[in-house]
């Protein structure tokens, strides 16, 4: 017996003995690797396809291209119709009345905040803003069906996720003003929220980059779920628009999520537009949902204006995602982007005003839930009026408070690039401080917490 | 154990060994015949001898005398291993001592196309050492997410030439994660991205590149390039332990060629220090990775021919880099040459030369010379003319001394 053979044998014994891997109880994953790597060999008389790339395929003698145009479109799941009527009364809505009212209030809060902030940007008091109009149901509904410890990755039109998880109006406003109380320390553009307590990672402007992050985070959660089976099992959830789904990162993420079987829910907000680009210029398949099957991922299309459908879909997706140690799920939530893409966009340059007005009138998640609430005598005009005026006041108070705050300390321009300040950075801080000191009229440092002194602690350290 | 004459069975087993490339990308394994193409009468080119080069520690004593090693390592054992084995040992130690460490990339599970991850999947389980789909942006993005949730992923890009699909993830996400997360404290500092880089003599356009300068232009990253097995082990372990994301570029020609005595136990080398490999007083050569061997051979020839004394510095960490060691040396010698494989324009040499010019201007006796790749792609048959060789470094020494 050669040394090579002996050593391999020893390795295998070691594997089934003391386990070196994270979870001690999965011998199935430790079968000798050469076997798992090897494809299946075919025999001369095989009747069944044995190509390693598609093991379940049958032979056929008919030459038929699969024509996507001949396939039926994936149906859109809904629980209530646009009049707020429940379609299958036996199943119902599995949402408590109190919960429905709370969700409604949050949706209204979000839309009131959006209206006011959009206006504030128009007045030049904010540099930038993006509204969620028409998509409040997707973010708030799905967030309400997740566990608070589930890790969320957002694109930028998911302020509702933050709101539903407990992000306060003051938190939103501090970020929008990038003041000294901003979580992001004044580094990010408005709307790029983040929160450690709420388990939501900070938004970055780069589209779709968060999708593979969610897959990787879900893998970390999978391993942590295995290590601590008694704790709450967690999933990662990732939001993105249908435009972002054209990025390579979407493809990469769903594929790796499937091959690693991670507990991740991918939620696509298909609102019909990526800035000016309509979906007909974005893709030719059956939306985003039709891609799920190609990656081997459980997929559902949902009416994003139906809060009950969004909630039920998310709940079931969460259970599914935690099945068998983990598996990814894709949900395409259909909606219409009622607002402009952002404050830097005038959407009437590429779509008819009447189309938008139609959508506003015809159907949106807030009025649909209101119809349901009213049909159950849970809501009336007086309550509506009170809620809207009260929320308006709340938002404006938070807005004014945030506007008054100082800007963050100048030190935040330099720290956190690396864990520690580098020698090069110290030299740069010294140089910058020196320039500002010698040209005091050229810079306004008073608005910043601590003024130029905010840099003092950074210039100490070793000689450059 | 093994008989002197190999049996047919042993031979067939040898031929079946999985080190035969399986993937089209792994047809270019590092081989120790880089200068086979040198001209027949060459005196300078063709003189890089890995067996005798002073850069490698050929004896246990030399290896253990390194003052950067802690006392318990210096009193310990060494063994003679090559660079890929050193990488493997570092990964093995990291996997053993920290259960947050994950190792993944394309073709990792069977041992990797350069054998760096040999036996790791079998020993630590495929939950922690696994293949990813063939997607660089996907696997780096995946690593970012895993790191952001507390793991310490060591992702492999099969060749540095293929890192570009992941460039957005590295530049916009990896590097900025901590900064943009602000006081939420989220970061992906546990991340290490390994990639084989540099020339191998026949890698042509896409198995030769050294894209380090692209990463040294990104704040938030650490870029590390080891020169030898000892350095690879110590620097990789430090990279994995470091809370900043690290781009770890392994000169692939050295995987098998560079063999030296390496401490058996785990040890950590600093990520912010250059190393003076050889002291001298007339001229300073700054380099990193494979060209250090070229420089060393050129220095040997130049010192013999020209009667000079040349200091050789290994940057090791290309960014953030150790300006102090370089400047101290140049202030002493008054002359400097920077050598690297990647092209000259906006390369690492530009930054080093500009810094020397700025901080040691009054001590300079000659312009800082850069010996680097020419402004072209590395066409298969022309590599020996494009990548800096012993002759070009020798000539640069001569010109700088004569200036």
Q: What is the CATH number of the domain that holds A201?
A: 3.40.50.970
Domain boundaries, chain B: 60-263, 275-402
Chain Cα centroid distance, residue B109: 22
* Residue-level pLDDT at A45: 64
* Total number of domains constituting chain A: 3
Q: Are residues A254 and A277 in the same domain?
A: yes
Q: Which chain A residues are Cβ-neighbours of B139 within 8 angstroms?
A: 252, 256
- Alpha-carbon distance of A131 to A345, in angstroms, equals 12
Q: Nearest residue on chain B to A424, judged by CA atoms?
A: B320
Q: Nearest residue on chain A to B126, judged by CA atoms?
A: A29
B377 is catalytic: no
Q: Are A141 and A314 in contact (CB under 8 A)?
A: yes
Q: Of B153, B182, B244, which is closest to A183 when you measure between CB atoms?
A: B182
Chain B segment 269-308 residues within 8 A of A by beta carbon are 272
Q: Do A196 and B184 touch (CB under 8 A)?
A: yes
- CA-nearest of B148, B130, B225, B226 to B191 is B148
Q: Are residues A22 and A134 in the same domain?
A: no
- CA-nearest of A163, A165, A141, A137 to A151 is A165
Q: Are residues A369 and A455 in the same domain?
A: no
B10 interfacial to chain A (CB closer than 8 Å): yes
* Residue-level pLDDT at A301: 98
Q: What is the pLDDT of residues A240-254, one digit of tens each?
A: 999 999 999 999 999
Chain Cα centroid distance, residue A337: 17
| Residue A84 located in a structural domain | no
Chain A segment 228-287 residues within 8 A of B by beta carbon are 236, 248-249, 251-253, 255-256, 259-260
Handedness of CA A460, B189, B169, B378 (dihedral sign): positive
Q: Are residues A337 and A219 in the same domain?
A: yes
B182 interfacial to chain A (CB closer than 8 Å): yes
Query: Consecutive sets of 10 residues in chain B, 403 residues long: mean pLDDT of each?
Result: 48 49 45 59 90 96 96 97 98 98 98 98 98 98 98 98 98 98 97 97 96 98 98 98 98 97 98 97 98 97 98 98 98 98 97 98 98 97 96 98 97
Q: What is the pLDDT of residues A168-190, one digit of tens each?
A: 999 999 999 999 999 999 999 99
DSSP assigned state of A453: G
- Assign A291 to helix, strand or coil: helix
| Residue A83 located in a structural domain | no
* Cα atoms in the Cβ-side hemisphere of radius 13 Å centred on A235: 31
Q: Which two tokens stand for residue A159?
A: 């302020």
Antiparallel, parallel or unpaired: β B129-131 and B275-278: unpaired
Instruction: Provide the shortest C-alpha distance from residue B221 to chain A (in Å).
Output: 7
- For residue A34, give its domain range: 4-64
- Alpha-carbon distance of B293 to B50, in angstroms, equals 8
Antiparallel, parallel or unpaired: β A264-270 and A273-274: unpaired
* Residue-level pLDDT at B46: 84
Q: Are residues A376 and A435 in the same domain?
A: no
Chain Cα centroid distance, residue B117: 17
Place of tokens 């407990």: A166
Q: Which of A34, A196, A212 to mutate to test the interface with B (most CBs of B within 10 A)?
A: A212
At residue B286, φ and ψ (nearest 5 deg) are -110, 130
| Boundary (domain end) residue, out of A356, A383, A403 | A403
Q: Are B387 and B293 in contact (CB under 8 A)?
A: no
Q: Are residues A150 and A34 in the same domain?
A: no
Tell me which residues of A are annotated as active site.
119, 205, 341-342
Vertex A418: Cα angle to A416 and A424 (nearest 5): 110
* Residue-level pLDDT at A43: 58
- CA-nearest of B162, B132, B158, B134 to B146 is B132
| pLDDT confidence bin for A21, thresholds 50/70/90 | very low
B23 interfacial to chain A (CB closer than 8 Å): no
Query: What architecture does CATH give domain B60-263?
Result: 3-Layer(aba) Sandwich (3.40)
| Boundary (domain end) residue, out of A47, A64, A81 | A64
| Average pLDDT estimate for A398-419 | 98
Domain B275-402: assigned CATH number: 3.40.50.920
Q: Which two tokens stand for residue A166?
A: 């407990």
* Residue-level pLDDT at B6: 47
Q: Are residues A33 and A119 in the same domain?
A: no
Q: Do B182 and A194 touch (CB under 8 A)?
A: yes
ipTM of the complex, rounded to two decimals: 0.90
Specify the range with the lowest mean pLDDT, choosing from A32-41, A385-394, B141-150: A32-41
- Alpha-carbon distance of A292 to B58, in angstroms, equals 56
Q: Are residues A347 and A454 in the same domain?
A: no
| Average pLDDT estimate for A392-396 | 98
* Residue-level pLDDT at B299: 98
| Average pLDDT estimate for A56-74 | 93
Q: Are residues A132 and A207 in the same domain?
A: yes
Q: Which two tokens stand for residue A429?
A: 């801080």
Q: Are A413 and A425 in contact (CB under 8 A)?
A: no
A122 interfacial to chain B (CB closer than 8 Å): no
Q: Which chain A residues are Cβ-neighbours of B185 within 8 angstroms?
A: 196
| Residue A281 located in a structural domain | yes
- Alpha-carbon distance of B56 to B58, in angstroms, equals 6
Q: Are A98 and A356 in contact (CB under 8 A)?
A: no
What own/partner pairs with CB < 8 Å and gap ≥ 24 does B131-135 have?
B131/B104, B131/B105, B131/B106, B131/B107, B132/A256, B132/A259, B132/A260, B132/B104, B132/B105, B132/B106, B132/B108, B133/A252, B133/A255, B133/A256, B133/A259, B134/B106, B135/A248, B135/A251, B135/A252, B135/A255, B135/A256, B135/B165
Q: Are residues A147 and A276 in the same domain?
A: yes
Q: Which two tokens stand for residue A131?
A: 């509204």
Chain B segment 192-251 residues within 8 A of A by beta carbon are 219-220, 222, 243-244
Q: Of A3, A153, A206, which is closest to B2 when you measure between CB atoms?
A: A3
Q: Are residues A313 and A432 in the same domain?
A: no
Q: Which chain A residues are Cβ-neighbours of B153 within 8 angstroms?
A: 216
Q: Are residues A392 and A423 in the same domain?
A: no
| Residue A74 located in a structural domain | no
- Alpha-carbon distance of B148 to A367, in angstroms, equals 38
What is the helix (H) or strand (E) element at residue A138, kind and residue range? helix A136-145
- Alpha-carbon distance of A307 to A7, in angstroms, equals 59
At residue A274, φ and ψ (nearest 5 deg) are -115, 100
3-state helix, strand, coil in chain B (%, to 5): 40, 15, 45
Chain A segment 18-37 residues within 8 A of B by beta carbon are 19-23, 26, 29-30, 32-34, 36-37
- Alpha-carbon distance of A393 to A387, in angstroms, equals 10
A17 interfacial to chain B (CB closer than 8 Å): no
* Residue-level pLDDT at A226: 94
Question: Which residues, other chains included, contact B65 with Cβ-Cβ below 8 Å and sequence gap of 6+?
Answer: B74
Q: Provide the residue count of chain A.
A: 464
B334 interfacial to chain A (CB closer than 8 Å): no
DSSP-assigned beta bridge partners for residue B194: B156, B248
Question: Which residues, other chains included, contact A120 with Cβ-Cβ below 8 Å and sequence gap of 6+?
Answer: A126, A129, A399
Does position A20 have pLDDT exceeding 90, yes or no?
no
Handedness of CA A124, A127, A133, A137 (dihedral sign): negative
Record the pTM: 0.91
């Amino acid at each position: 017996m050669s040394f090579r053979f002996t050593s391999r044998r020893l390795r295998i014994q070691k594997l089934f003995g003391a386990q070196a891997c994270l979870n001690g109880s999965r011998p199935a994953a430790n079968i000798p690797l050469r076997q798992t790597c090897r494809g299946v060999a075919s025999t001369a008389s095989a009747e069944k396809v044995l190509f390693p790339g598609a093991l379940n395929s049958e032979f056929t003698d008919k030459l038929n291209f699969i024509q996507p145009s001949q396939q039926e479109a994936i149906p859109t799941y809904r629980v209530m119709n646009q009049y707020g009527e429940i379609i299958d009364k036996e199943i119902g809505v599995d949402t408590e009345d109190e919960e429905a009212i709370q969700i409604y209030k949050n949706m209204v809060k979000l839309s009131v905040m959006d209206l006011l902030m959009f206006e504030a940007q128009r007045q030049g008091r904010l540099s930038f803003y993006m509204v969620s109009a028409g998509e409040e149901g997707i973010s708030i509904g799905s967030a309400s069906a997740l566990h608070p410890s589930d890790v969320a990755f957002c694109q930028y039109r998911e302020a509702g996720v933050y709101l539903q998880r407990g992000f306060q109006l003051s938190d939103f406003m501090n970020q929008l003003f990038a003041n000294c109380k901003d979580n992001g320390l004044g580094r990010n553009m408005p709307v790029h929220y983040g929160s450690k307590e709420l388990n939501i990672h900070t938004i970055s402007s780069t589209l779709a980059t968060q999708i593979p992050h969610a897959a990787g985070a879900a893998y970390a959660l999978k391993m942590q779920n295995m290590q601590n089976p008694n704790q709450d099992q967690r999933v990662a959830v990732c939001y993105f628009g249908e435009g972002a789904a054209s990025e390579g990162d979407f493809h990469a993420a769903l594929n790796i999520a499937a091959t690693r079987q991670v507990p991740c829910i991918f939620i696509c907000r298909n609102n019909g537009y990526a800035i000016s680009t309509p979906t007909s210029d974005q893709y030719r398949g059956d939306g985003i949902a039709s891609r799920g099957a190609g990656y081997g991922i459980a997929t559902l299309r949902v009416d994003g204006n139906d809060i009950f459908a969004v909630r039920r879909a998310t709940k079931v997706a969460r259970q599914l995602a935690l099945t068998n140690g983990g598996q990814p799920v894709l949900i395409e939530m259909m909606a219409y982007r009622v607002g402009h893409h952002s404050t830097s966009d005038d959407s009437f340059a590429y779509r008819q005003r009447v189309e938008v007005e139609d959508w506003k009138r015809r159907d949106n998640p807030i009025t649909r839930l209101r119809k349901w609430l009213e049909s159950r005598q849970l809501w009336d005009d007086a309550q509506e009026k009170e809620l809207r005026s009260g929320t308006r006041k709340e938002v404006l108070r938070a807005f004014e408070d945030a506007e008054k705050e100082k800007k963050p300390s100048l030190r935040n321009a330099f720290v956190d690039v690396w864990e520690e300040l580098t020698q090069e950075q110290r030299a740069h801080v010294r140089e910058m401080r020196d320039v500002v000191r010698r040209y005091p009229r050229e810079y306004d440092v008073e608005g910043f917490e601590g003024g130029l002194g905010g840099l003092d602690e950074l210039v100490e350290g070793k000689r450059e | 154990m093994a008989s002197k004459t190999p049996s047919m069975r042993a031979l067939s087993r040898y031929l079946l060994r999985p080190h035969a490339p399986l993937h089209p990308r792994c047809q270019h394994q590092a081989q120790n015949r880089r200068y086979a193409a040198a001209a027949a009468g060459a005196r300078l080119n063709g003189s890089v001898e890995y067996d005798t080069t002073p850069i490698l520690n050929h004896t246990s004593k030399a290896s253990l005398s390194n003052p950067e090693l802690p006392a318990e390592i210096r009193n310990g054992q060494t063994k003679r291993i090559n660079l890929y084995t050193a990488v493997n040992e570092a990964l093995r130690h990291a996997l053993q001592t920290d259960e947050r460490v994950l190792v993944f990339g394309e073709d990792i599970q069977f041992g990797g196309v350069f054998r760096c991850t040999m036996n790791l999947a079998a020993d630590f389980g495929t939950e922690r050492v696994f293949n990813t789909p063939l997607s660089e942006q996907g696997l780096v993005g995946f690593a970012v997410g895993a790191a952001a949730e507390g793991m310490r992923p060591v992702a492999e890009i099969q060749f540095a030439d293929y890192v570009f699909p992941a460039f957005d993830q590295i530049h916009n996400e990896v590097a900025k994660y901590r900064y943009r997360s602000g006081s939420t404290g989220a970061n992906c500092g546990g991340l290490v991205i390994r990639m084989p880089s540099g020339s191998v003599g026949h890698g042509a356009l896409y198995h030769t590149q050294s894209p380090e300068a692209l990463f040294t232009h990104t704040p938030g990253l650490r870029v590390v390039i080891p020169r030898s097995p000892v350095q690879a082990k110590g620097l990789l372990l430090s990279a994995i332990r470091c809370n900043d994301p690290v781009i770890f570029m392994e000169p692939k020609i050295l995987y098998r060629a560079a063999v030296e005595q390496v401490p058996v136990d785990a040890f950590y080398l600093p990520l912010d220090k250059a190393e003076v490999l050889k002291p001298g007083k007339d001229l300073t050569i700054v380099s990193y990775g494979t060209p250090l061997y070229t420089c060393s051979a050129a220095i040997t020839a130049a010192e013999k021919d020209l009667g000079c004394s040349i200091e050789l510095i290994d940057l090791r960490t290309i960014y953030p880099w150790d300006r102090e060691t370089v400047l101290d040396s140049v202030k002493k010698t008054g002359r400097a040459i920077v050598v690297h494989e990647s092209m000259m324009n906006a390369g690492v040499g530009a930054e080093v030369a500009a810094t020397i010019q700025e901080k040691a201007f009054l001590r300079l006796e000659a312009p800082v010379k850069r010996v680097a790749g020419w402004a072209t792609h590395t066409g298969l048959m022309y590599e020996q003319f494009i990548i800096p060789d012993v002759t070009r470094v020798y000539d640069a020494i001569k010109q700088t001394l004569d200036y």
